[in-house]
Amino acid sequence: METKLEQKILEKLDKIEKEVEGIREHMVDIDSILTPEEESRYEESLKEYREGKAVSLEDFEKKRRK
């Protein structure tokens, strides 16, 4: 038989567990956030890709080996 203290502790633990689940659901993966410099470089690379200036990794590696 649980005492009142044990029951209160279990209720608080249940509440904490639900709060932690909520936090986990809304957490942002830190690796998915770009710094201003990274964002600028990313935008520049997209622009180059759209303009046909991008080089595939395979082509880049071939040129590098020469």
Q: What is the pLDDT of residues 8-59, one digit of tens each?
A: 999 999 999 999 999 999 998 888 899 999 999 999 999 999 999 988 899 8
Indicate the domain borders of the chain.
4-65
* Helix, strand, or coil (residue 36): helix
pLDDT at 10: 96
Q: Are 42 and 34 in contact (CB under 8 A)?
A: yes
Residue 63's identity, in one-letter code, is: K
Provide the token pair at 23. 């936090």
Residue 2 banded pLDDT, cuts 50, 70, 90:
confident
pLDDT at 1 over 70: no
Residue written as tokens 């303009």? Answer: 51
pLDDT at 30: 84
Q: Are 54 and 48 in contact (CB under 8 A)?
A: yes
pLDDT at 11: 97
